[in-house]
Structure 1
Amino acid sequence: MSYLVLCVGAFTVARFLLKTLLVLAQTFVLPGKNLKMFGATEGAWAVITGASDGIGKEFALQLAAAGFNILLVARNEVALTAVAAEIARNTASKVEARIQLVDFAKHDPAPLNALRSVVSDLNVGVLVNNVGKAHCSYFVETVEQEIEDIVAINIGATLRVTHAVLPGMIQRKRGLMLNVGSFAGQVPTPMLSIYSSTKAFLTTFTSALAEEVRSHNIMVQNLNTYFVVCVFSPPFTTNCVLMLMRSQATKMPGITKSSMMVPTAATYVHSVLSKIGLSCGAALSDRPDTLTPYWGHALLDYVIHVIGWKAFFISYFHRILINRRRAQLEREGKQQ
């Protein structure tokens, strides 16, 4: 019996050390896949949803700089046109940028059919499923339309756009799909209950789909993301994970300064594109094809899964959101 206990203990310690070394190596040392594997500088396209601001806009700018043509997908024509113009200025016309207007909250098949038709004619090397909507309220306070919008945008949009783009990737035997997820998908988060559930769906969908298409040389990854500083265009439908901390009374963003744990959108996207194919903070945590790329997020992810006390973190994140909403309401009271 003592020998068995010793073996189990040795295995547990060895696994802990291996996980620690793997997380540190992937986060701080090892490089990710080269984007040329997916058609960078070869005329391939990157399709980005929620591309009008925040993380989506940064993906557009940085993938264009890497040599991809860009298809910007969102509902805000003015903002998308501005992003396309910025890409043209920054890349000296070496790549092309187009816009495609889709409001994913609306159950209108025409824009989605138009998007499907457009992408079928493009050599799509990268798809970034970034569009999303967040809320910060208790479930009982959330109006029914808000619930429907969050599910339609966070789940429906990902499924529909992926279904439109994937056949071409399979035919070309090449592709990269990045699904912008959230820590709220790993730890059930009060006051973000609907959003949290949709991001949990994204984790499962990513792992299942990644296995389905692996033999076609297509990589699918769920981007596990904590707070990120973003600048939004009205009406602040967020594509920055856990960024729009709002009460029923406000639509103002809640975090405006970067820190060790809160990178700018540009820094965050750079970390993603430099770690493609790795897991970083999600290594050996029973989440296949999940990537926690930014180093501060990676270390927090590592700590959460080493401790493994999910109930504690559910309460911890609940307190964070309570304090954030209280602070926001206090600011509003002072402004009034």
Structure 2
Amino acid sequence: MDSVSDALASIPQSVQLAFAGLGALLVASKILSFLNLFLNVFVLSGTNLRKYGKKGTWAVVTGASDGLGKEFATQLAAKGFNLVLVSRTLSKLEALSQELEKKFAGLETKVLDMDFSADDDADYARLAKLITGLDIGILINNVGQSHSIAVPFLLTEQKELENIVTINCIGTLKVTQAVAPGMQARKRGLILTMGSFGGWMPTPYLATYSGSKAFLQHWSSALAAELKPSNVDVQLCLSYLVTTAMSKVRRASVMIPGPKPFVRAALGKVGLGGWQSMAYTYTPFWSHALMAWAVENTIGVGHRLGIWVNLKMEMDIRDRALKKAARNAKKE
């Protein structure tokens, strides 16, 4: 102990003061960051959606027939936006269209059934024709696909691999290319793309999905800088698990909200991501935001410890899913 004390005493006072100052600055920066997080998550309201158009302005929602997409459509309709609903199953789209038009007086809807995995140019041509002349203020890039089960990359079926990349990446890019020029011309609009903690922190056993969401992260932030001079806001909305068919989680909890509270937060906190390490990104749901802040301010995004935790978690999920499938096969 004496040797340590002697060693410390031998350090020039100016150096000691410099290190103490750096430590104080580090602590102060973390405190300010947490205060920023607290204000953004619990106090402040995000951008008023009326910035993107008056009542009757149109919103395009992809993956609209189920889960988060359906909830985005419902809440946007409640806020007075007309809707272009895009998804794979026409019957579901028509049922949602009728439900919303009955519920919200004066609401107009248009539907377009397209299979994003087909990457058919004719589908995108139909979309372009459908939205011609519409004053579109909001685009919700929600369509997406994950793996049917947590799986090592080398065991991933080629069709699943291709579908994930085609739907999540190519589909999102092509829809945005169809919608964004009108926003740029009108000098207003919001392009909100659904991200994922799976793309924010690399996730083994969901490698292709994780990579596709990481792609959207960087694409979205780059596009945001391009369109900012045109007064078009581009935001990537980060989420942990939500109780949807994609997540395969049925019971809501503090960490896993249902679609309604998550979408309420997503639409209410647009633009409030100043505490995050990636620009033009926000994590709207409070428990997800606290988790993201903790990771960013301790181990850091992309650290091998975080990747290892994800690996162990997904391996456990895969083992339980395979055991359940085996039990069901025996019953048959």
Match of 1:275 in 2: 269
Superposed counterparts of 1:1-336, under 5 Å: 1-41=15-55, 43-92=56-105, 94-135=106-147, 136-230=150-244, 232=245, 238=246, 243=247, 254-279=248-273, 283-309=274-300, 310-335=303-328, 336=331
Pairwise CA distance, 1:314? 1.1
Q: Give secondary structure in 2 for the equivalent of 1:285.
A: coil
Q: Mean Cα displacement is larger for which, 149-158 or 306-315?
A: 306-315
Give the structure with higher Rg (CA): 2
- Deviation, 1:325, is 2.4
8 Å contact from structure 2 (residues 199, 211) kept in 1 = yes
- Three-state SS of the structure 1 residue aligned to 2:45 is coil
1:188-242: CA deviations, max 9, x gaps?
Answer: 0001100101111111111111111111111111011100002x4xxxxx4xxxx
Tell me if the contact between 2:203 and 2:310 (Cα under 8 Å) persists in the aligned partners.
yes
Which residue number corresponds to residue 9 of structure 2? none
Distance 1:278 1:107 in 2: 34
Q: Residues 271-329 of structure 1: CA distance to partner in whole angstroms, max 9, x if unpaired?
A: 101101111xxx43320011100011011101111112521111112222222222233
* Paired amino acid for 1:271: A
Kindly provide the amino acid, as one letter, of the partner of residue 57 in structure 1.
K
TM-align CA RMSD: 1.3
1:40/1:314 CA distance change after superposition, 3 Å: farther
Q: Distance in 2 between matches of 1:110 and 1:127?
A: 20
Question: Cα offset for 1:64?
Answer: 0.5
Gaps of 5+ in 2: 1-14
Q: Please give the per-residue CA displacement for 1:63-117, whole angstroms capped at 9, x wherever unaligned.
A: 001100000011111111111112112213x211110122111132101111122
SS in 1 for 2:128: helix
Q: Mean alpha-carbon deviation: is it higher for 306-315 or for 197-206? A: 306-315
Deviation at 1:30? 0.5
Query: SS of 2:297's equivalent?
Result: helix
Amino acid at match of 1:119: I
Which is further off, 26-35 or 317-326?
Answer: 317-326
Whichever residue aligns with residue 32 of structure 2, its letter is L
Count the aligned residue pairs: 311
**Aligned residues of 2:276 and 2:282 also touching (Cα < 8 A):** no
- Work out the CA distance in 2 between the residues paired with 1:7 and 1:70: 55
Alpha-carbon shift at residue 170 of structure 1 (Å): 0.7
TM-score (norm 1): 0.89
Give the partner amino acid of 1:101: D
Contact (CA 8 Å) 1:120, 1:164: kept in 2 or not?
Answer: no
Distance (whole Å) between structure 1 residues aligned to residue 223 and residue 29 of structure 2: 28
Q: Distance in 2 between matches of 1:156 and 1:74?
A: 15
Q: d(CA) in 1 for partners of 2:68 and 2:54?
A: 20
- Going from structure 1 to structure 2, the CA distance change for 1:304 and 1:171 (only over 3 Å counts) comes to same
Contact 2:277 2:296 in 1 (8 A): no
- Distance in 2 of aligned mates of 1:72 and 1:127: 11
Return the offset for 1:5. Answer: 1.5
Quick one: distance in 2 between partners of 1:69 and 1:152? Answer: 28
Residues 141 and 194 of structure 2 are in contact (CA less than 8 Å); yes or no, is this contact kept in structure 1? yes
In structure 2, C-alpha distance between the alignment counterparts of 1:209 and 1:269, rounded to whole Å: 23
Q: Which has the higher helix share?
A: 2
Deviation of the 1:40 alpha carbon: 4.4
Deviation at 1:333, TM superposition (A): 3.5
Residue 91 of structure 1 aligns with an amino acid whose one-letter code is F
Please report how far the alpha carbon of residue 38 of structure 1 lies from its aligned counterpart in structure 2 after TM superposition: 1.0
Residue 331 of structure 1, CA deviation? 3.0
User: Could you state the TM-score of these two structures normalised by the residue count of structure 2?
Assistant: 0.91
Letter in 1 for 2:298: I
